[in-house]
Structure 1
Amino acid sequence: MKDIRSILPHRFPFLLIDEIVEVEEGRRAVGVKLVSQHDCEGSPDGAFPRGFILEAMAQMSGAALHSESRSNGLGMLAGIDNGRFYQDVFAGDRLTLTIDITRNKGRIVKGRGTAAIDSRIVCEADLLFAFQSMT
């Protein structure tokens, strides 16, 4: 599997994906985030910040949408709908991030993301992306 750094422009400390497990180009991606104590620093309750979970799902969407032939520009997170958090995530947890692309029409892409610990879903959301030309 390709290294996530060859797909996304993010780097430490903003890269929130540790491993890509599966990619069906343009359709689906599964990855892993190993939550460390460093990831939870500064959080009042010691939990991994919920916004970071959403960002990790957005980054996994980048892996699903990555293509050597895709020429419609840089993808940016444009919206989050139906976001739900069911439990907190703490240092030592292995977060499995799954993205299923539900609509891929030109410059607008929608996907359904889930984050789970073992098989327990801790977060789910619908993500909207817009692609901007790089000219």
Structure 2
Amino acid sequence: MELNSNEIEKILPHRYPFLLVDRILDYKPGEYAVGVKCVSANEMHFLGHFPGQHVMPGVLIMEALAQTGAVALLSEEENKGKVVFFGGIKNARFKKQVVPGDKLELSCEIITRRANVGIGKAVAKVDGKVAAMGELTFAIGDRNE
């Protein structure tokens, strides 16, 4: 199943400039999601990271991976309308710089679940090469609307 940016916004609470997933290519509720982020020089963080040598901050790559995993969790019927918070990041590794023009391939597989907490194995690639990876802990909560 594929989701465009408008459909992603129906699942995630994130909005510009912090929605970091452009498209979901495939997902299975509660199990995994695969998405893409098309990196553009027009993004706000490149104003200061770094002038003259744009590099996407590693924490934003992790956030893009977390948003991809959140699609898998929040697309479950019982979690619709909820929000996912970071609970932690373990074994984060950054292997390749991500720069404007790159198509960031995002995948997150939910490997453990207990009540409202889940752990996902996340990998970001560019041109098939690992750019970043980590084990993300998610906490599912209610939205304060």
> What displacement does 1:132 show?
2.9
> What displacement does 1:74 show?
3.0
Partner of 1:111: 120
Measured in 2, the distance between the counterparts of 1:5 and 1:129 equals 19
Per-residue Cα deviation, 1:107-128 (whole angstroms, up to 9, x for no partner): 1100010000121011000000
**Deviating more after overlay: 66-75 vs 86-95:** 66-75
Partner of 1:69: 78
1:124-135 correspondence to structure 2 within 5 Å: 124-133=133-142
Count of aligned pairs between the two proteins: 135
Q: Give TM-score scaled by structure 2 length.
A: 0.86
Unaligned runs of 5+ in 2: none
SS at match of 1:38: coil
Partner of 1:85: 94
Partner of 1:53: 61
CA RMSD of aligned residues (A): 1.7
Per-residue Cα deviation, 1:71-128 (whole angstroms, up to 9, x for no partner): 7953211100000000110000000000010001111100010000121011000000
Q: Give TM-score scaled by structure 1 length.
A: 0.92
> What displacement does 1:134 show?
5.2
SS at match of 2:59: helix
Measured in 2, the distance between the counterparts of 1:8 and 1:31 equals 13
Report whether the alignment pairs 1:43 with 2:49. Answer: yes
Unaligned runs of 5+ in 1: none
